[in-house]
């Protein structure tokens, strides 16, 4: 019985991994000149280590990072999807926050991977999740969007408490009151581990980047009322020794409280 269930799960993973049709083509983009007050966008990459097409999506995300300096990629491994599930802890890249956002965006155990979301917004089809060849066109259409927020992020390592003290300064360029949610994430680069590849092989030395390790505090952040002066938010992240501090960054994301869409974001290394 266990063997039959395992066989069915493998079959599901092979079949559900998203097949990209020829009419969904990636747009080749040159590095972009952006306004000084350009909004920094968040691209969420939903992925799993048994998904054979996911390395192609990771390559596209890397290409977009080379093209736009106002983009932050966050790779999320939701535990509720079979592509992320493993009995080996060293291949477990999941975290509870990934499932919170995944469920909010309509993800289910049968959702095919890879998929992505830009700025917590709906795509032209009225869905949160898009195929990776669509990401370049989606980002090109909003890459010159500007923001009314200035943000300064300072994550500092506290040796005595083995934690990261985080300070975020937000200065709105308006006298209107803005109702926001401020989220803090830890992401990690250069994680070496298993990954199923497009040719059907398994790469045990694959490099996973931008992996969401945790949301600091509540997954939807803390409420913030911005009123035209600088607002300072302080928080602390208790460290997990499984994470390599030198490979980690803290990401701050400001969402519009009315629609949960990204208003601005920033990323910083831990000092």
pLDDT score for 168? 98
pLDDT score for 14? 47
pLDDT score for 31? 53
> Distance between CA atoms of 203 and 200, rounded to whole angstroms?
10
Q: At what angle do helices 54-67 and 135-142 cross, to 10 degrees?
A: 20
Residues 193-237 pLDDT 10s: 999 999 999 999 999 999 999 999 999 999 999 998 999 999 999
Q: Phi and psi (nearest 5°) for 158?
A: -110, 100
The encoded tokens of residue 268 equal 């910083």
Q: Is 197 exposed, middle or buried (0-12, 13-18, 19+ CB in 10 A)?
A: middle
pLDDT score for 37? 87
> Distance between CA atoms of 114 and 129, rounded to whole angstroms?
9
Residues 30-42 pLDDT 10s: 555 566 789 999 9
Strands 149-158 and 202-208: unpaired
∠84-247-239 over CA atoms, to 5°? 80
Q: What are the start-end ranges of the E strands in 129-261?
A: 149-158, 163-172, 178-188, 191-196, 202-208, 211-215, 222-226, 231-238, 248-256
pLDDT score for 6? 39
Q: pTM of the predicted model, to two decimals?
A: 0.89
Calculate the CA dihedral of residues 205, 206, 207, 210 and round it to 10 degrees.
Answer: -140
Cα separation values, 186 from 97, 113, 115, 125, 271, Å: 11, 23, 21, 31, 14
Q: Of the candidates 113, 129, 131, 111, which has an alpha carbon nearest to the alpha carbon of residue 121?
A: 129
Q: Flag residues of the chain having pLDDT under 70.
A: 1-16, 18-35
Q: Is 170 exposed, middle or buried (0-12, 13-18, 19+ CB in 10 A)?
A: buried
pLDDT score for 23? 47
């Amino acid at each position: 019985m266990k063997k039959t269930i395992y066989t069915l799960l493998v079959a599901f993973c092979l079949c559900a991994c998203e097949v990209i049709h020829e009419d969904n083509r990636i747009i080749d983009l040159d590095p972009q000149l952006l306004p000084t007050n350009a909004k920094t966008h968040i691209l969420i990459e939903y992925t799993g280590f048994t998904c054979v097409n996911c390395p192609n999506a990771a390559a596209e995300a890397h290409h977009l990072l080379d093209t736009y300096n106002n983009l932050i990629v966050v790779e999320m491994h939701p535990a509720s999807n079979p592509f992320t599930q493993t009995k080996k802890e060293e291949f477990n890249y999941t975290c509870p926050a990934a499932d919170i956002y995944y469920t909010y965006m309509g993800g289910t155990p049968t959702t095919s991977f890879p998929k992505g979301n830009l700025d917590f917004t709906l795509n032209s089809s009225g869905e949160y999740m898009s195929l990776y060849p669509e990401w370049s066109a989606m980002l090109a259409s909003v890459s010159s969007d500007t923001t009314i927020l200035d943000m300064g992020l300072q994550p500092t390592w506290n040796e005595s408490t083995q934690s990261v003290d985080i300070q975020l300064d937000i200065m709105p360029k308006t006298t209107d009151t803005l109702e926001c949610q401020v989220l803090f994430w830890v992401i990690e680069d250069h994680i070496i581990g298993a990954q199923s590849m497009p040719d059907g092989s398994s790469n045990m030395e694959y490099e996973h980047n931008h992996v969401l390790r945790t949301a600091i505090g509540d997954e939807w952040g803390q409420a913030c009322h911005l009123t035209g002066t600088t607002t300072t938010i302080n928080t602390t992240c208790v460290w997990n020794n499984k994470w390599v501090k030198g490979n980690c960054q803290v990401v701050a994301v400001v969402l519009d409280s009315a629609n949960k869409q990204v208003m601005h974001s920033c990323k910083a290394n831990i000092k």
